[in-house]
Homo-oligomer: A and B are copies of this chain.
Amino acid sequence: MNASPLDNIRIVLSHTSHAGNIGAAARAMKTMGLRSLYLVNPVSFPDKEADIRAVSARDLLGRARVFNTIDEALEDTVFAAALTSRSRELEHETYDARVGAEILLKNAQHHPVALVFGAETSGLTAVEVSKCSVKIVIPTNPDYPSLNLASAVQVMAYELRMALMQAKPVKPKQTEPATLNEIELFYHHLEQIMIRVDFLNPQQPKKLMQRLRRLYARARLEKEELNILRGILKAVEKHLSSKP
């Protein structure tokens, strides 16, 4: 098998309730050439129902990795897309399934990326979405938008394959993207500084961190830029007076 950008795309299923959906998702992935399945806190896995629904995609289940937190599942990724149907006040950049798949594939040329799906009924939490780079919405019937989880995986996997068939080889990027975990450390550091200078009240944080996350998610930070931002924070920290 030749290396394909599809191999850089991991499907992350967070808090899946029904094991059958994990199996059906694995089958959906394999029919389109996706292979990496990451599970965050599944209710039941491994599970006989998952095996049954996977049919001949059980090898994906056997290689699936299970984690306790989404941060672990996003380790090493430079880009993540959150599948969601809901609109929130503070939107990440939002794309439909087709454009979203193209963007995901473009980002997967040289580095690992993730496509993240939430629990069947409740979807992704706001915190989970905030850790992703963009949102993807599959257009649905507004009167009945209740797409089955494995069906949503199927549609996205299909769009990724279509994008692959249409993609032209791209030039290697000159710059190294920051990983999402590194970016999380930056957010944490920034938050601490904002609290120390009384800009952020931890008792009443409002939506400050969400707004800043949205801004930097849009910018797609490079490793070097991230180092500069962290450097500024460290320098500021050193020069803060102990009492205002």
Contacts and interface: CB of A to CB of B under 8 A. Distances in A.
Interface of A: 1, 24, 27-28, 30-33, 55-57, 91, 93-99, 137-141, 143-148, 150-151, 154-155, 158, 161-162, 165, 167-170, 172-173, 193-194, 196-199, 208, 211-212, 214-216, 218-222, 224-225, 228, 231-232, 235-236, 238-242, 244
B91 A172 contact: yes
Contacts of A138: 158
Given A196-B239, A197-B239, A199-B231, 13 more contacts: A24-B148, A28-B151, A31-B140, A31-B151, A93-B172, A95-B170, A99-B169, A139-B161, A139-B170, A147-B154, A154-B154, A199-B232, A218-B219
B228 A169 contact: no
Nearest to A33: B141
A199 B235 CA distance: 6
A57 B240 contact: no
Interface centre among A146, A197, A222, by most chain B C-beta atoms within 10 angstroms, is A197
Contact of A98 (B162, B231, B244): B162
A211 B226 CA distance: 11
A155 B150 CA distance: 12
Given A140-B161, A208-B228, A146 B31 contact: yes
A141 B96 contact: no
A171 to B, nearest CB: 8
B198 A95 contact: no
28 contacts: A24-B148, A24-B151, A28-B151, A31-B141, A31-B144, A33-B143, A55-B148, A96-B170, A99-B169, A137-B170, A138-B158, A139-B162, A141-B161, A151-B154, A154-B154, A196-B239, A197-B232, A197-B238, A199-B232, A199-B235, A211-B224, A211-B228, A212-B225, A215-B221, A215-B222, A236-B240, A239-B244, A240-B240
B93 A198 contact: no
A208 B225 CA distance: 9
For the complex of A and B, the 5 pairs showing the least CB-CB separation, nearest first, are A241-B241, A199-B235, A219-B219, A33-B141, A197-B235
